[in-house]
Structure 1
Amino acid sequence: MSNVTKPSNFIQQIIAADIDAGRVSTVVTRFPPEPNGYLHIGHAKSICVNFGLAEANGGQCNLRFDDTNPDTESDEFVKAIIQDVKWLGFQWGGEVRFASDYFAQLYAWAGHLVEQGKAFVCELDAETLREYRGTLTAGGKNSPYRDRPANENLVLLEHMKNGEIDEGLMTLRAKIDMQSPNINLRDPVLYRIKKQAHHRTGTQWNIYPSYDFAHGQEDAIEGVTHSVCTLEFAANRPLYNWFIDNLPVPSTPRQYEFGRLNVNYMVTSKRKLRALIEGGWVEGWDDPRMPTLSGMRRRGITAQALRNFCDSLAVAKTDGVVDVSQLEYFVRDDLNVRAQRAMCVLKPLKVILTNFADSETEILSVAGHPSLEHFKTRELPFTRELYIDRDDFSEDTTLSRKKFKRLVIGGYVRLRSAYVIRADHVERNTAGDITEIRASIVPGTVGEDPPHGIKARGVIHWVSAAHARDCRVLRYDRLFTEPLPEAGVEPFTHHINPQSLEVIDGCKAEPSLGQAQVGEHYQFEREGYYCLDSRANKEGGLIFICTIGLRDTWQKSKT
């Protein structure tokens, strides 16, 4: 397994300076997902950064759900996110926290801003509010309600909270600076009316705080020292600080931003991931083609591989795009030492060994891993009738050994961990298709070289026909045909790969795979890394998912 050396981390340098200067005694970070979808690979980096910084400095990382928008949030997503964080191997400090835990306090602080003349109830509709806000190059205009008296604002805010005002008629806005070059400081909305039941508080509230108003104060309540988020929130930092400076909060957190993780051939927008599901392009949030953690887990990617990948990435102040082959390198590297070896024939072609007794079954002891002894030995039955892969046979005897290291008529090949065999002739059906190969073993070649003059072209995998387990194999490819599916003028779904899923029925697996369990990993020799589909019902037969092929293209590209 890789020894991953973490790149220099500018946030760690800030934390170290804070500790050395006595500004911070206990480091507290937080991971604050919104429960409106499943976590994806970008979240994995954020989790590793936030929990990793806390662990490295003897502190704690809080898990807090930013549940301020009841329209799209649900307990389903809360449970899935908790499962994902645990799966990655992290433990948060204390209980799971929610923004909704602080709704009463946030409302009280909103009232404080009104009393101080720093917030007002605005009656501009959404479209007019956008017009008044101005543009990136031109300042905005003050709302005609900006100078409403504080006592009147407090009464209206209470009416909003009690559900006496219809949605869209009023908002609570901060009073900052409509001419600020930072558009986020142009009297931002703190509360909006939303008469929607909340997944935790039910119908208790008719108004909900904005993300900008809530998350800095939540950090302060929890004693967060370093509020680490991705770069798109950099322009929001002055507003974060404005709230902290203008409210009687119990602590003073500071926000820091790092570049978000983007991986080519993937989209990570929750809106677009939901569109993939609703459009029928994928089966659900845990589809193995999805960049979600649940999809990766179902595909057989391990938490350790994902953590190794995230730890290999720079924590930088710029965004970038990582090649997916870099992730694939860490997946292969991890599975190479984790996966039990096994054989499965995906396109079975029967071989009958004419000089092997029909009644005989020879049990071959085969290592579970070529170099790691803690894997248990497998016992493979060897019988007269076998299956090999159809792609491992050719009638073309002119093929060179270098070009085709498999079985040809009159040629020899080694069966993995078994005999050298020779193909003698083929049987065909009425359509002319090959139905079986008649072959013969070279006696005494299990674990031994064949006699002088016999040279096997190569090594191929096989299973006993009498003992093989029938199974289905699902082979997934990249979901998109373009590395940056969102970059063009076409909708991102225009670049969906129509060949992203191949379903192969009638595969033949060695007997030990009949006892495969969800969460175990296998290298199907000469094919790739596989796992049992966690969605599959064993009564419906064995279904294996291909996690990744054997070829390491990223590692080769580095040399």
Structure 2
Amino acid sequence: MAETENRPTNFIRNIIDADLANGKHQSTHTRFPPEPNGFLHIGHAKSICLNFGIAQDYQGLCNLRFDDTNPEKEDINYVKSIQEDVSWLGFNWDGEICYSSNYFDKLHGYAVELIEKGLAYVCFLSPDEAREYRGTLTEPGKNSPYRDTSVEENLALFEKMRNGEFKEGECVLRAKIDMASSFMVLRDPIIYRIRFAHHHQTGDKWCIYPMYDFTHCISDALEGITHSLCTLEFQDNRRLYDWVLDNISLECHPQQIEFSRLNLEYTVMSKRKLNDLVVENHVDGWDDPRMPTIAGLRRRGYTPASIREFCKRIGITKQDNMVEMGMLEACIRDDLNNNAPRAMAVIDPVRIVIENFEDGKVEQLVAPNHPSEESMGTRELPFTKELFIEREDFRVEANKKFKRLVLGKEVRLRNAYVIKAERIEEDAEGNITTIFCSYDPDTLGKNPADGRKVKGVIHWVSATHCVEAEVRQYDRLFNVPNPAAAESFVETLNPDSLTVIKSAKLEPSLAQAAVEQGFQFERLGYYCRDNKEEGLVFNQTVGLRDSWAKIEQA
């Protein structure tokens, strides 16, 4: 077993420790088993970190398995995206990728075994009739009229199902358990149904497909999984998980353990709801930076380390709770604060003309790429007669609390000189078009606290050397903390979740920014270059400070 020092602990790890100590298992073997019916989201990242993290810490194994039993909703593109997400998060699966469809022959054999034992039967009840027979939470169900069909006839009927001799929905194979059970999942659940659908792995070989609950436990057992970790909504399903394995000829019987799923404020964690957002064009695909998908977070500028740290901080418990968005943002902010190079960008530009700076002169100033990490080096900033600053960084008149540029007063330009606003030029509507300034050539590199009373520092770019880029600013996707609880979650969408700035002015070094490279745009926030658009596009990752507390107080 791995060294326990500095290793996280939780109730699942306590179970594993006990199992290894008492000899129940000699090693650990976990799995991450997504259904390939959509992109993974931040909730899946929690499961990825848990399953692969346990395998790493205990020198065990972790499989990547696709539980691909529903070909109508699955797609090979989802398979590829899931592999990319797991790898990008920094994890490697053991051995070849597994598919539940690899076991379809064996699953069929185990279904036949249940029929032969009198524990499964072919049922011709319609869906409406089946619901009526199932009963309610307070009333027991009643037996299907097909429940006592002979073993021989059920074997023949199941073979006809396999051969495509029945229509979709005409019949199903059900386990024969207990229609009076207090657990609805044990009231003769469906274990096979007919689907004339092409499968992305098996093609058209099968027209009957096993249900998830029947497939999952057998797949775990066939792979030798020791601890089958899943979220709390499968707690009742554990009874069916154990029943199936107890009644077929498989010696391996993994232990299912449930933990709470991740619920994150101002978003939804249902793949069905996320798919609705994509299909109904509320967002620009599964990797839209507003989406809680791993691909969306990656495109927005979140790093694998920040997501792993987030999963570590929220921990593993059995208690459902809603995690504040600020906690996720804090993780990426901490990461980028230490690792992102600095750069300057002006989002809402207003023109500056330094009247006492020589026409046509270009002075190359040197600026650090990080304020405390000298190893990150420096870059050159062209300083010229015409500059751009943020429009909000200038006022004609202001009180003492305003520490930026004011008409008749001085301010320091970041990594450059002290300038003084002398006069302004306005258009016919009264909008300021140009601020005419003077600069002090003796103030380069001096500290604002050197005795000269300069109220603040603002960022800038050269008007003649800057590059233009599209900058996308993001707000929360929904207007309420728990949109999933709303009668119509779509109606809680935030119409201002995306603001596109077409011609932001960026320092020239950013023209060579690598895709997905994160930067701190000084005084603005953290941004990264988009990994999808061909042009120069930057996505806002997170602000410099927590804005979510302000939202709650608003």
Task: Give the structure 2 partner of residue 518 of structure 1.
Answer: 515
Task: Give the structure 2 partner of residue 470 of structure 1.
Answer: 468
* Corresponding position: 1:175 with 2:187: no
Larger displacement relative to structure 2 (423-432 or 315-324) = 423-432
Measure the CA separation in 1 of the matches of 2:294 and 2:117.
45
What is the aligned counterpart of 1:411 among 402, 409, 412?
409
Q: How does 1:424-439 map onto structure 2 within 5 Å?
A: 424-439=422-437
Measured after TM superposition, the shift of residue 453 of structure 1 is 7.4
* Corresponding position: 1:126 with 2:127: yes
Measure the CA separation in 1 of the matches of 2:149 and 2:428.
91
Change over 3 Å in CA distance of 1:453–1:189 after alignment to 2 = closer
Measure the CA separation in 2 of the matches of 1:493 and 1:103.
38
Residue type matched to 2:185 in 1? N
Contact 1:5-1:311 within 8 A present in 2 as well: no
Task: Give the structure 2 partner of residue 204 of structure 1.
Answer: 205
Contact 2:7-2:57 within 8 A present in 1 as well: no
Contact 1:221-1:250 within 8 A present in 2 as well: no
Deviation readout 1:367-394 (Å, 9 max, x if unpaired): 0000011212010111111111111000
Task: Give the structure 2 partner of residue 358 of structure 1.
Answer: 359
Task: Give the structure 1 partner of residue 52 of structure 2.
Answer: 51
Residue type matched to 2:334 in 1? D
Measure the CA separation in 1 of the matches of 2:447 and 2:529.
36
RMSD of aligned residue pairs (Cα, Å): 1.6
Change over 3 Å in CA distance of 1:7–1:20 after alignment to 2 = closer
Task: Give the structure 2 partner of residue 552 of structure 1.
Answer: 546
* Corresponding position: 1:461 with 2:459: yes
Q: How does 1:111-510 map onto structure 2 within 5 Å?
A: 111-396=112-397, 399-402=398-401, 404-449=402-447, 454-489=452-487, 491-510=488-507
Contact 1:6-1:311 within 8 A present in 2 as well: no
Report the secondary structure of 2:435's partner residue: strand
Measure the CA separation in 2 of the matches of 1:494 and 1:324.
20
Measured after TM superposition, the shift of residue 430 of structure 1 is 2.9
Residue type matched to 2:228 in 1? S
Deviation readout 1:382-414 (Å, 9 max, x if unpaired): 111111111100011xx2232x11101001000
Measured after TM superposition, the shift of residue 337 of structure 1 is 1.3
Measure the CA separation in 2 of the matches of 1:73 and 1:243.
25
Report the secondary structure of 1:444's partner residue: helix
Report the secondary structure of 1:195's partner residue: coil
Measured after TM superposition, the shift of residue 165 of structure 1 is 0.8
Larger displacement relative to structure 2 (324-333 or 545-554) = 545-554
Contact 2:350-2:388 within 8 A present in 1 as well: yes
Measured after TM superposition, the shift of residue 7 of structure 1 is 5.5
Residue type matched to 1:374 in 2? S
Change over 3 Å in CA distance of 1:521–1:129 after alignment to 2 = same
Report the secondary structure of 1:205's partner residue: coil
Report the secondary structure of 1:374's partner residue: helix
Report the secondary structure of 1:547's partner residue: strand
Residue type matched to 2:480 in 1? E
Contact 2:345-2:521 within 8 A present in 1 as well: yes
Contact 2:412-2:448 within 8 A present in 1 as well: no
Measure the CA separation in 1 of the matches of 2:145 and 2:300.
56
Report the secondary structure of 1:82's partner residue: helix
Larger displacement relative to structure 2 (247-256 or 151-160) = 247-256
Measured after TM superposition, the shift of residue 95 of structure 1 is 0.5
Residue type matched to 1:392 in 2? D
Larger displacement relative to structure 2 (231-240 or 53-62) = 53-62
Measure the CA separation in 2 of the matches of 1:217 and 1:341.
52
Larger displacement relative to structure 2 (429-438 or 179-188) = 429-438
Contact 1:329-1:554 within 8 A present in 2 as well: no
Change over 3 Å in CA distance of 1:439–1:451 after alignment to 2 = farther
Larger displacement relative to structure 2 (247-256 or 94-103) = 247-256
What is the aligned counterpart of 2:534 among 518, 530, 537?
537
Contact 2:354-2:386 within 8 A present in 1 as well: yes
Change over 3 Å in CA distance of 1:451–1:522 after alignment to 2 = closer
Measure the CA separation in 2 of the matches of 1:71 and 1:458.
60
The count of residues paired between Structure 1 and Structure 2 equals 547
Measure the CA separation in 2 of the matches of 1:86 and 1:193.
35
Measure the CA separation in 2 of the matches of 1:284 and 1:430.
43
Contact 1:332-1:552 within 8 A present in 2 as well: no
Measure the CA separation in 1 of the matches of 2:348 and 2:384.
19
Deviation readout 1:107-145 (Å, 9 max, x if unpaired): 000000001111111111111111111111111101111
Change over 3 Å in CA distance of 1:371–1:18 after alignment to 2 = same
Residue type matched to 1:56 in 2? D
Change over 3 Å in CA distance of 1:308–1:432 after alignment to 2 = same
Contact 1:120-1:173 within 8 A present in 2 as well: yes
Contact 1:533-1:545 within 8 A present in 2 as well: yes
Deviation readout 1:155-213 (Å, 9 max, x if unpaired): 11010001011111111111111111111111111100111111111111010001110
Residue type matched to 2:490 in 1? T
Measured after TM superposition, the shift of residue 555 of structure 1 is 9.4
Measure the CA separation in 2 of the matches of 1:7 and 1:526.
36
Residue type matched to 1:343 in 2? M
Report the secondary structure of 1:311's partner residue: helix
Measured after TM superposition, the shift of residue 433 of structure 1 is 1.9
Q: Which runs of 5+ in 2 are unaligned?
A: none
Task: Give the structure 2 partner of residue 527 of structure 1.
Answer: 524
Contact 1:309-1:330 within 8 A present in 2 as well: yes
Measure the CA separation in 2 of the matches of 1:303 and 1:69.
30
Change over 3 Å in CA distance of 1:206–1:453 after alignment to 2 = closer
Measure the CA separation in 2 of the matches of 1:370 and 1:555.
27
Measure the CA separation in 2 of the matches of 1:477 and 1:133.
45
Report the secondary structure of 1:284's partner residue: coil
Larger displacement relative to structure 2 (374-383 or 410-419) = 374-383
Measured after TM superposition, the shift of residue 456 of structure 1 is 1.3
Residue type matched to 1:502 in 2? T
Report the secondary structure of 1:438's partner residue: strand
Q: How does 1:17-28 map onto structure 2 within 5 Å?
A: 17-28=18-29
| Aligned sequence identity (%) | 53
Residue type matched to 1:339 in 2? A
Report the secondary structure of 1:296's partner residue: helix
Measure the CA separation in 2 of the matches of 1:159 and 1:450.
86
Measure the CA separation in 1 of the matches of 2:297 and 2:127.
40
Measured after TM superposition, the shift of residue 359 of structure 1 is 2.6
Change over 3 Å in CA distance of 1:452–1:364 after alignment to 2 = closer
